[in-house]
Chain A
Amino acid sequence: MNDKWTAQLSAYLDGELTADKRTDLERHVESCDECRTALQQLRGVVTWAADFEGREPANDVWPQIAAVIGDTPSGVVKLDARRRSPKHFALSIPQSLAAAIALAVVGAGGWSLARLTAPESQMAAVIDISAPDAGATVMATIAVAQKYGPAISDLERVLLQENGTLDSTTVRVLRQQLAIIDRALTEAQEALARDPASHFLADHYTGMMKKKLNVLRQAARNVEVSS
């Protein structure tokens, strides 16, 4: 094992040997079981390292980071502060819109959707709605959230739990997919805040809620099939 060839195996794997040395080593490895075994094992080490995805830290330091970068986890998100282009949304809507939606009616002139909160996130948003037709679309949006919300929450809780029935890759992909849908929901919500009377936006929002539920249902069916 401790022959002069062993020391060259790493360099060989990394493609660092000259052509001559490479040929010599390959010739030797063909006839030496020990070097062949070592080479394959070393390849295993290198592959493991390249694919290693890391391990979660003992403590989640996101709250400290959020505090520094100016996230407003419990405050009101300023609508104008971040509205730099139509593509970028401003409202912070919780992952699952479902849980608790409280509607406050202020004054005679319009509606104010005062708090949009969910248990896993204490985000709050204030939407000022003064368009004449606003009440109806906002109510419709809330009805949609109430209709689909509980089923979405339940499925999310079951499917995304640690050590659940889904394999980790599927959970990861599912989370990504849900994140995209959540983003679209957030965008729709923000657009509605600017244009509360838009039926198109209300429909879009409804469509995304349905899509989210469908994705989760599909995942649930997948669990039933595979288990």
Chain B
Amino acid sequence: MTSLARELEQTPAQADAIDVDLAVNGDTQAFERLYRRHTPRVNSLARWLLSRDDVDDVLQDVFIRVWEKLDTFRGQAAFGTWLHRLATNVILRQRERYRKDEKRGSGSLLEVADMSASPVSPGLSIDIEAAVDRLPERARQVFVLHDLEGYKHEEIAQVLTISVGTSRSQLHHARMAMRSFFAA
């Protein structure tokens, strides 16, 4: 980070707190700033949990729901955490709707391990993201919920209706498939 960035630093959490306060009072511009700050992550979440590239509808649903429920956010957790939980709930509820017309096939753990052993552009997140894309659906969902969203295995077991043991082993397989992206 440059010295300028340090000098101007205001944490995203601080910016969120200000904008939530404004948005609760009807300031749609403040809400747009929240949308801009959090869309990338919600987009990746939706894309990976739903196995789809086109997630426009889901993003709209999520943020309209956030707008509607904003006054129930009491600052008990970071806004980002609250929003991602809400987003994940909305996304997981959409799974049934999309299950019938899967747009993007899943890959295999071997395929992902192969990608990670010979990345196209070493060290770039885009390669790693592509590998997450290609994880088998179950492993990808567990990995995203656990390692990106901080869900516990017990919670994952409940929302995906799998056993806790399955959640643990799927997580391990997903991580092992992706590990060669990272230096020892």
A55 B182 Cβ-Cβ under 8 A? no
Contact of A10 among B67, B128, B168, B180 (CB under 8 A): B168
Closest Cβ neighbor of A41 among chain B residues = B179
Min CB–CB distance B25 → chain A (angstroms): 5
**B67 → A minimal CB distance (Å):** 5
Chain A residues near B77 (CB-CB < 8 A): none
In the complex, how many residue pairs between chain A and chain B have their CB atoms under 8 Å apart? Answer: 161
User: Is the Cβ of B32 less than 8 Å from the Cβ of A54?
Assistant: no
Q: Is the CB of A176 within 8 A of B40?
A: no
User: Given A38-B176, A42-B176 in contact, is the A55-B43 Cβ separation under 8 Å?
Assistant: yes
Docked CA distance A81–B27 (Å): 11
A176 touching B31 by the CB < 8 A rule?
no
Q: How far is the CA of A10 from the CA of B175 in the complex (A)?
A: 8
Describe B's contact surface by its main secondary structure: helix
Name the residue of chain B whose CB is nearest to the CB of A50. B147
Whether A65 and B60, one on each chain, are in contact in the complex, defined by CB atoms closer than 8 angstroms, is yes
Measured CA separation A66–B179 after assembly (Å): 41
**A46 at the binding interface (Cβ < 8 Å):** yes
**Structural contact, B44 and A52, CB atoms closer than 8 A:** yes
Chain A residues bordering chain B, tally (CB within 8 A): 59
Min distance, Cβ B81 to any Cβ of chain A, angstroms: 13
A19 touches B (CB below 8 Å)? no
A106 at the interface (CB under 8 A from B): no
Known: A44-B181, A45-B182, A57-B56. A218 touches B4 (CB 8 A): yes
A55's partner among B27, B35, B44 (CB-CB below 8 A) is: B44
B2 at the interface (CB under 8 A from A): yes
Q: Are B28 and A45 in contact (CB under 8 A)?
A: no
- Those of A87-114 within 8 Å (CB) of chain B: 88-89, 92
Task: Report 16 cross-chain contacts, Cβ distance below 8 Å, ordered by A residue.
Answer: A37-B184, A46-B175, A50-B147, A52-B148, A53-B41, A57-B43, A58-B54, A62-B32, A66-B32, A71-B29, A82-B25, A92-B29, A169-B5, A170-B5, A173-B1, A222-B4
